[in-house]
Chains A and B, each alone.
Chain A
Amino acid sequence: GAVVSQHPSWVICKSGTSVKIECRSLDFQATTMFWYRQFPKQSLMLMATSNEGSKATYEQGVEKDKFLINHASLTLSTLTVTSAHPEDSSFYICSAIPGTGNTGELFFGEGSRLTVL
């Protein structure tokens, strides 16, 4: 099946620093990628939809200036958590759909566990 790679798998940073997470589709082109956040014992919450070559679409309550998303190529989307604070500590997961505009299976990255001290 399709493979989505996410890096880093875990990161610990100091409060106030910025952290970049990469999401790559390894064997397919993804015009659309999704970024989710999952707090302990809670479900995945969609943060934003990342569209190649255009601005990301953010879900209500997600600060676009804090969570910067760049989707500059068909195989790479990045999420930058700017000025991270302890409350941003979470499991961030990206996903991608092979092809365009379908509602088929989503392929998930392995997730990135962020801990902000």
Chain B
Amino acid sequence: RKEVEQDPGPFNVPEGATVAFNCTYSNSASQSFFWYRQDCRKEPKLLMSVYSSGNEDGRFTAQLNRASQYISLLIRDSKLSDSATYLCVAGTSYGKLTFGQGTILTVHP
């Protein structure tokens, strides 16, 4: 079983749609959680950290449920520029990050 599992998609949505990505992690020692965005043939870039209390950054909302080891990302009012691969990431106290396989999102006009 992979340490971090995501639905690979692809998700194809029209502009303005709301889309949700889910992720589960298996290492109960994980202490930090992130969503990264990766554009084709580029390095990953941090989208947002994920906290148990939930956090929002503009159109993006992330949630963490430690009990069920579940992480989510909600994107509202999708833009064409949101098209990318979204990586769910779990980290340990010594800085090691484990990446999910990524979820591909394509937003079309």
Residues of A whose CB lies within 8 Å of any CB of B are 32, 34, 36, 42-46, 49, 91, 93, 95, 97, 101-106, 108-111, 113
Contact = CB atoms under 8 A, between A and B. Distances in A.
A44 B42 contact: no
A44 B91 CA distance: 14
17 contacts: A34-B95, A34-B96, A42-B101, A43-B99, A43-B100, A44-B44, A44-B99, A46-B98, A91-B41, A103-B31, A103-B93, A104-B32, A105-B46, A105-B49, A106-B95, A108-B45, A111-B41
Contact of A101 (B95, B99, B102): B95
Interface residues of A: mostly helix, strand, loop or mixed? Answer: loop
Interface residues of B, number: 23
A111 B42 contact: yes
A49 B96 CA distance: 8
Given A49-B96, A91-B41, A111-B43, 8 more contacts: A49-B95, A101-B94, A103-B32, A103-B95, A104-B32, A106-B97, A111-B41, A113-B41
Given A32-B95, A46-B96, A110 B42 contact: yes
B89 to A, nearest CB: 9
A100 B32 CA distance: 15
Contacts of A105: 34, 46, 49
Majority-rule SS of B interface residues: loop
- Which among B43, B45, B91 has the greatest number of chain A C-beta atoms within 10 A? B43
A93 B100 contact: no
A44 B45 contact: no
Contacts of B46: 105-106
